[in-house]
Amino acid sequence: MESKKKVVIACGGTGGHLFPGVAVAQEMKRRGHTVRLLISEKKVDAQASAKYGDLEFDTVPAIAKPATLSLKMLPFLWKLLKTTAKCKGLLRKFEADAVIGMGGFTSLPPVMAGKKLGAKTFVHDSNALPGKANRLTAKWCDKVLLGVEEARPYFPESAIEITGTPVREELYSLPAREAAAEKLGLDPTLKTVLVMGGSQGAKQLNSLVVQASKAMPDIQFIHITGNFDHDRVKAEMGEHCPNHKLIAFCDDMPSIYAVTDLAIMRSGASSLSEISYLGLASILVPYPYAAGDHQTKNAEVFAAANAAVLRQESDLDAGMLVADVTHIFAKSENLEKMSAASAALGVKDAATRVCTVIESL
Ligand SMILES: CC(=O)N[C@H]1[C@@H](OP(=O)(O)OP(=O)(O)OC[C@H]2O[C@@H](n3ccc(=O)[nH]c3=O)[C@H](O)[C@@H]2O)O[C@H](CO)[C@@H](O)[C@@H]1O
């Protein structure tokens, strides 16, 4: 019989790391393993993990490496060592057999601690252009699990497993559109556009969508602004916008996706794994300041497959957004083709694939 393992999943820092970590935890638990998630002390992690009361979380300090070699490296290295020592304590107490880091420098100390204690170590990277922390960690960990083929050239071939990026189990089956629309205060019969800015800010995109929606009164918009930008967008929208609903942060993505016909969003890897899992069409506007412009690389995968329209924020105006949305909705076959292309990029069994690799070592 398969031996049961104790697995630590390091997934702090942003929703893009946390939610795939939750997805892995849910599947490992379902298979009878014991799991513990390490997240950061940031508010965003506390907010995003709050609804997963059946999972066990510990916090470790968030670590960010300075962009350039400077004196700032000294406090970074000190924090790295201190946090690794703290992680060693947590891992010893938990008697971890395996540690998987879901990306970002916040994942580095737990995986380093796991390596020092002789646990099996893994990193998962969901992006087409992998992050620096994962490229560093991959040099000495047992397996590198990738969300997309495009990341393959950045890692040692012998360590690679292509798994896709897991989505949380509540997305496996969505509520009915009518029920979800009622819950969200929307009209289920109207074409519905989801706007999702991502964790790092989408001020300009948020403003452009507000202008664009005013020109498309027959289409309804459900717009996640991010906590930081909600009041500004609300003020900008003004009083009478019956077709445009704002949410600061949503802890019920299944309902949101159940009513979505088209998404206008950043191209963070986790959001992309979700829309492809669900076969949703999109207009992608990469976050312009993402490290190495990796969101453009993510979006290019979707645009090349005709699953999405790719627009750079610097070139975009409200008129272009109106034209894109109008064109996509003009014929049902436009949306159907994009949706089918999106679904073809989705990896339905990503959680199973990740867990099978962890179990195999
Ligand atoms: C700016 C930046 O560098 N962001 C990076 C960050 O993702 P970042 O956290 O910005 O964004 P992602 O799109 O990857 O993930 C967002 C996640 O949050 C969820 N969500 C979002 C809004 C909300 O109200 N409720 C909610 O649950 C989404 O469903 C999704 O699961 O890590 C990703 C994975 O390495 C990268 O691809 C992104 O480029």
Testing ligand 1's pocket by substitution, the residue of 11, 14, 251 carrying the most ligand atoms inside 8 A of its CB is: 14
What ipTM is given for this predicted complex? 0.99
| Atom 15 of ligand 1: nearest residue by CA position | 16
- Contact assessment for residue 115 and residue 97, using Cβ atoms and an 8 Å cutoff: no
Instruction: Give alpha helix (H) positions in the chain.
Output: 15-30, 43-49, 73-94, 108-116, 132-137, 177-184, 203-214, 230-237, 253-259, 269-278, 294-304, 318-330, 332-345, 350-360
Strand order in 143-146's β-sheet? 57-60, 34-40, 6-10, 98-101, 120-125, 143-146, 160-162
**pLDDT attached to residue 43:** 87
**pLDDT attached to residue 116:** 97
**Which residues line the annotated binding site for UDP-N-acetyl-alpha-D-glucosamine?**
14-16, 127, 168, 199, 295
**pLDDT attached to residue 126:** 98
**pLDDT attached to residue 71:** 83
Q: Cα of 3 to ligand 1 centre, how many Å?
A: 33
**pLDDT attached to residue 2:** 65
What is the rounded distance in angstroms from the CA atom of residue 17 to the CA atom of residue 9?
A: 10
Who lines ligand 1 at CB under 6 A?
Answer: 14-17, 19, 103, 126-127, 196, 198-200, 224, 249-250, 253, 268-271, 274, 287, 290, 294-295, 298
| Burial status of residue 242 (CB atoms within 10 A of its CB: 0-12, 13-18, 19 or more) | exposed
Domains and CATH numbers, the chain: 6-164+348-360 (3.40.50.2000), 171-345 (3.40.50.2000)
pTM, two decimal places: 0.96
What is the rounded distance in angstroms from the CA atom of residue 298 to the CA atom of residue 88?
A: 34
**How many Cβ atoms are within 10 Å of 234's Cβ, its own excluded?**
14
| Atom 19 of ligand 1: nearest residue by CA position | 15
| Atom 13 of ligand 1: nearest residue by CA position | 268
| Atom 7 of ligand 1: nearest residue by CA position | 16
What is the rounded distance in angstroms from the CA atom of residue 64 to the CA atom of residue 68?
A: 12
Q: Cα of 268 to ligand 1 centre, how many Å?
A: 5
**pLDDT attached to residue 66:** 87
**pLDDT attached to residue 201:** 67
- Please identify every stretch of the chain with a pLDDT value under 70, giving residue numbers as ranges: 1-2, 199, 201
**pLDDT attached to residue 119:** 98
Run of H or E residues at 3:
none
